Amino acid sequence: MSQNRPDTSAGNDVVVLLRNVHKSFANLEVLKGISFEVKRGEVTVLIGPSGSGKSTALRCVDRLETISQGQIDVCGHNLTAPDLDLRKLRLDVGIVFQSYNLFPHLTVAENIMLSPRTVKKLPKQQAVELAKHCLAQVGLSEKFDSYPEQLSGGQQQRAAIARSLAMQPKVMLFDEVTSALDPQLTGEVLRVIERLADDGMTMVMVTHEMNFARRIADQVVFMHQGKVWETGPGSMLDSPATPELQAFLAHEL
């Protein structure tokens, strides 16, 4: 955990809770009873081999996937409740994917202002100020009037993060956000995420960047064969307890 981070170890409430979560696609059971929780201001990193269920678990937290069995609570929303208000849930939860999904015909600023103006009905001038603030957070102030095609992959990903931040979520989810980037661009995106962590943003992220996970994670959740196999602080990556995590880390190196 970064030394700049506020202490979140005591007295903080649970923002994300999964209990005995199962998820099947047709006859394939992808999640086999996973459980973990995330406290306010903490960073939880999901790691594991392809097919272990980590991205599916992340998508369930935003109700992009519905679960087959179990319980998920996020920011006070019960995701299995029949009266769940998806709009309110997604005001509280921001998600950034591997693909940037920026609208190519809109400027960076217009991409960022779109949801605050349409969903939150923010007046234009307030939306402009918000976009400037969010772009400053990700180090892209000079790209306010640029179009996505004028940005590098790393800059587009940072703009996508700014777009999520503009909705002022309580939790941010990151799904393999650097997997399509080269090492230099990966570094600039990870530095933005690290600054968000230093500012106390609650985050759940799927990544293959083990050094980054070791440095930033309050909690690492190693998934294997659809189950939570091993959990611990970032330092557990230096001394894995299970042969499966040892083998995974050896392969990642």
pLDDT digits (tens, 9 = 90+) for 189-225: 999 999 999 999 999 999 999 999 999 999 999 999 9
Distance CA 250, CA 253 (A): 5
Tell whether 41 is covered by a domain. yes
Note whether 222 and 248 are within 8 A (CB): yes
CA dihedral sign, ordered 209, 213, 214, 219:
negative
Q: Which amino acid is at 143?
A: K
DSSP H or E run through 94: strand 93-96
Looking at residue 3, what is its pLDDT? 46
Segments forming the whole domain that contains residue 83:
14-101+171-252
How many folded domains does the chain comprise? 1
Tell whether 1 is covered by a domain. no
DSSP H or E run through 82: none
Looking at residue 139, what is its pLDDT? 93
Mean pLDDT of the chain: 91
pLDDT digits (tens, 9 = 90+) for 86-141: 999 989 999 998 888 899 999 999 999 999 999 999 999 999 999 999 999 999 99
Looking at residue 2, what is its pLDDT? 46
Distance CA 30, CA 23 (A): 6
Kindly state the average pLDDT of the residues 60-64.
94
pLDDT digits (tens, 9 = 90+) for 6-52: 454 444 589 999 999 999 999 999 999 999 999 999 999 999 999 99
Tell whether 40 is covered by a domain. yes
Tell me the pairing of strands 69-74 and 171-175: unpaired
Among the residues of 69-208, which ranges form H helices? 86-92, 108-118, 124-137, 153-165, 183-198
Q: What separation in angstroms does the CA of 188 have from each of 1, 98, 156, 182?
A: 19, 15, 11, 10
**CATH code (residue 239):** 3.40.50.300
pLDDT digits (tens, 9 = 90+) for 153-175: 999 999 999 999 999 999 999 99
Tell whether 130 is covered by a domain. no
Distance CA 227, CA 127 (A): 42
Tell whether 141 is covered by a domain. no
Q: How many CB atoms lie within 10 A of CB 163?
A: 26
Looking at residue 8, what is its pLDDT? 45
Tell whether 76 is covered by a domain. yes
Confidence of residue 179 (pLDDT cuts 50, 70, 90): confident
Note whether 226 and 34 are within 8 A (CB): yes
Looking at residue 12, what is its pLDDT? 59
Looking at residue 183, what is its pLDDT? 87
Q: What separation in angstroms does the CA of 6 have from each of 17, 180, 197, 220, 222?
A: 21, 31, 9, 18, 25
CA dihedral sign, ordered 68, 71, 73, 79:
positive
Looking at residue 253, what is its pLDDT? 58
Tell whether 126 is covered by a domain. no
Tell whether 234 is covered by a domain. yes
Distance CA 169, CA 93 (A): 5
Looking at residue 29, what is its pLDDT? 95
Q: What is the pTM of this model?
A: 0.91
